[in-house]
Amino acid sequence: MKLQKQINLQKINNQTDEEQVLQCYSLWKDCFGDSNEYMEYYFKNKLKDNQVYVIEEEEQVISMLHLNPFRMSLKGKENVYHYIVGVATQEEKRGKGCMRNVLTKALREQREAGEIFTYLMPAAKEIYLPYDFRYIYTQDRVSGVLSEDVATQTELEVRPYAELSNQEKQDVVSFAMDHLEGIFELYTIRDQAYYDRLSLEMQAAGGDVVTIYKGNALKGISSFMLENGHMEIVETITSPEETKQMVNALFSYVFSQGKDQSLQVAWLETHFLDVNVLQQSVKDSEYKKQPIIMARVLDVKQALSLLELKEGETEAATIKLAVRDELLSENEKTYKIMVSANQTVIEQTEEEYEVCMDIASLTEFFFESVPTDTLCFETKGLNRAEAVARLNKLSGCRSSYINEIV
């Protein structure tokens, strides 16, 4: 008689479950192939704060999922949201439902903790589409071979973030937040702990976080990775008119550290930069829009409660919306949405729905990541044009800024 294998799905204690952490390290290495330096950074600095879900078979970790916490602002309200990373299953155990089980448990516990949504940076979107994740954030990227005349003499001074005083680090935080607050409705909150970790992360990938000054005035913050002759500028926060000086100062600094000048360069995040200037800084430049962050609404009622009338709308909007969610059945209800200039009221109702959409479409609707008239939904008592007109009166999260790696 064949013995039934013991399979266990649990959340481990990262501080005491040393054997399981070692097995997670091995699984990460096998599945992602990160450098030893980067893995040492992650397991030393990130693991102490995150949550790890594992599936064990015969006391061996065969599948895992990591939730990394970030303080975020969503429509003016601060909360801790968890970024899904490190989703991995042993190759011989794939296709047996491990990922679905570990992901469902993590999603449900995030919802129970009051999180409205969760998010991730997928290795391939096809992995997460069946679990109703959809893209909500796209970067405009520029890449190419660095031009020889880029690192010209500059009056700007570049200083590594790690070498700043505590007061100077607080000034960096204030500078970053001044560029995010009031511009984006969803963003990761910067504080000193955020930049302390980011500095270590960039250093683990051969790069750094640097600050760029003109005299005593802070003009920009840039984080970059540099491995095997390939430099990725993860983010530069500055003003677009400062782009040329930022580029010159950054590469002057990099070359002063003895780095090869024939670099393959990619600016991953260009929101605060002049793209035309970047394209002129490289040979054979390539510009592309790169979707990078997928998200999934976890708590429908909480998400709907953040809806507002779109700018310019004056008349109140009402609609009865049914939501379908195969993974989190708690969301499967019909909601009566009533939004005016002064308040938003969301009530569960037994009345017939006017619009019915699945949680994936609701995620796209809430984050306004696709035009309303392209959303997939059914109607009752309304034709599609009427439904689109009603939905178009409502605004969810209009602008996002998320570019963290882990």
Query: In this predicted model, what pLDDT tens digit does every residue of 269-300 receive, in sequence order?
Result: 999 999 999 999 999 999 999 999 999 999 99
Do 339 and 391 touch, CB atoms closer than 8 A?
no
Rounded to an integer, the average pLDDT of 340-352 is 97
pLDDT of residue 15: 77
385 burial class (0-12, 13-18, 19+ CB within 10 angstroms)?
exposed
Amino acid identity at 44: K
Rounded to an integer, the average pLDDT of 57-63 is 94
Looking at the predicted structure, is the pLDDT value of residue 153 above 90? Answer: no
Looking at the predicted structure, is the pLDDT value of residue 2 above 70? Answer: no
Cα–Cα distance measured from residue 101 to residue 348, given in angstroms and rounded to the nearest whole number = 29
Q: What is the pTM of this model?
A: 0.95
H or E element in which residue 285 lies: strand 282-297
pLDDT of residue 4: 40
Rounded to an integer, the average pLDDT of 100-108 is 97
pLDDT of residue 312: 94
Question: What is the Cα gyration radius of the chain?
Answer: 23
pLDDT tens-digit profile of 208-234? 999 999 999 999 999 999 999 999 999
Do 47 and 59 touch, CB atoms closer than 8 A?
no
Strands 134-146 and 264-267, bridge-based pairing: antiparallel
Rounded to an integer, the average pLDDT of 91-107 is 96
pLDDT of residue 354: 98
pLDDT tens-digit profile of 377-388? 999 999 999 999
Poorest-confidence range of 18-22, 113-117, 349-353?
A: 18-22
pLDDT of residue 7: 62
Looking at the predicted structure, is the pLDDT value of residue 138 above 70? Answer: yes
pLDDT tens-digit profile of 174-199? 999 999 999 999 999 999 999 999 99
Residue 115 sits at the vertex; the CA angle it makes with 361 and 356, to the nearest 5 degrees, is 25
Q: Please, what is the average pLDDT of the chain?
A: 95
Do 180 and 190 touch, CB atoms closer than 8 A?
yes
